[in-house]
Structure 1
Amino acid sequence: MSRRDLGLLLALSAIWGSSFLFIKLGVDELEPSVVVLVRVAVGALVLLPLVAGRGGLRGLRGHLVPIVALAALNNVLPFWLLAFAETRIDSGLTAVIQAAAPIFTVLLASWIDRTQRVHGARLVGVGVGFLGVVLLVGVQEGGQLVGALAVIGTALCYGGSVLYAGRTVARSLPPLQLSFGQLAVSAVLAAPFGIAQAPDELPSAGAIAAVVALGALGSGVAYLLYFTLIASAGASRAILVTYLVPAFALVYGAIFLDEEITTSALVGLALILGGTALATGARLRGR
Structure 2
Amino acid sequence: MTRRDAGLLLLLSAIWGASFLFIKLGVDEVEPSVVVLGRLVVGVAVLLPLAPRRGGLRPIGAFLVPLAVLGALNNALPFWLLGFAETRIDSGLTAVIQAAAPIFTVLLATRIDATQRVTGLRLVGIGVGFVGVVLLVGVQRGGEVTAALAVVATALCYAVSVLYAGRTLRGLRPLQASIGQLACGAIVVAPLALAQLPDEAPPAGAIAAVVALGALGSGIAYLLYFAIIASAGASRAILVTYLVPGFALLYGALLLDEPVTSSALVGLVLILGGTALATGVARLKGRTSTVRP
- Alignment TM-score, normalising by the size of structure 1: 0.97
| Equivalent residue, structure 2, for 1:247 | 246
| Equivalent residue, structure 2, for 1:46 | 46
Cα deviation for residue 112 of structure 1 reads 2.4
Deviation string 1:151-186 (CA, Å, 9 cap, x unpaired) is 0000000000011011111x2111111001101111
Cα deviation for residue 113 of structure 1 reads 2.4
For structure 2, the residue ranges without an aligned partner over 5 or more in a row are 283-288
User: Which AA in structure 1 matches 2:217?
Assistant: G
| Equivalent residue, structure 1, for 2:234 | 235
Distance 2:103 2:55 in 1: 35
Distance 1:193 1:18 in 2: 25
Aligned residues: 284
User: Which AA in structure 2 matches 1:75?
Assistant: N
Q: Within 5 Å, which residues of 2 pair with 1:159-198?
A: 159-169=159-169, 171-198=170-197
Name the SS for the 2:235 alignment partner: helix
Deviation string 1:42-77 (CA, Å, 9 cap, x unpaired) is 000000001122111111121111000010000000
Q: Runs of 4 or more off by more than 3 Å in structure 1?
A: none
Cα deviation for residue 117 of structure 1 reads 2.4
Deviation string 1:201-222 (CA, Å, 9 cap, x unpaired) is 0000000000110000000000
User: Which AA in structure 2 matches 1:280?
Assistant: T
Matched, 1:266 2:275: no
| Equivalent residue, structure 2, for 1:109 | 109
Name the SS for the 1:21 alignment partner: helix
Q: Within 5 Å, which residues of 2 pair with 1:1-287?
A: 1-169=1-169, 171-282=170-281, 284=289
Range with bigger deviation, 36-45 or 274-283 = 274-283
Cα deviation for residue 111 of structure 1 reads 2.0
Name the SS for the 2:219 alignment partner: helix
Name the SS for the 1:30 alignment partner: coil
Deviation string 1:9-53 (CA, Å, 9 cap, x unpaired) is 000000000000000000001001000000001000000001122
Name the SS for the 1:200 alignment partner: coil
User: Which AA in structure 2 matches 1:276?
Assistant: T
Name the SS for the 2:30 alignment partner: coil
Alignment RMSD (CA, Å): 0.9
Cα deviation for residue 247 of structure 1 reads 0.1
- Alignment TM-score, normalising by the size of structure 2: 0.95
Name the SS for the 1:59 alignment partner: helix
Deviation string 1:133-155 (CA, Å, 9 cap, x unpaired) is 01111100111101000000000
For structure 1, the residue ranges without an aligned partner over 5 or more in a row are none
User: Which AA in structure 1 matches 2:71?
Assistant: A
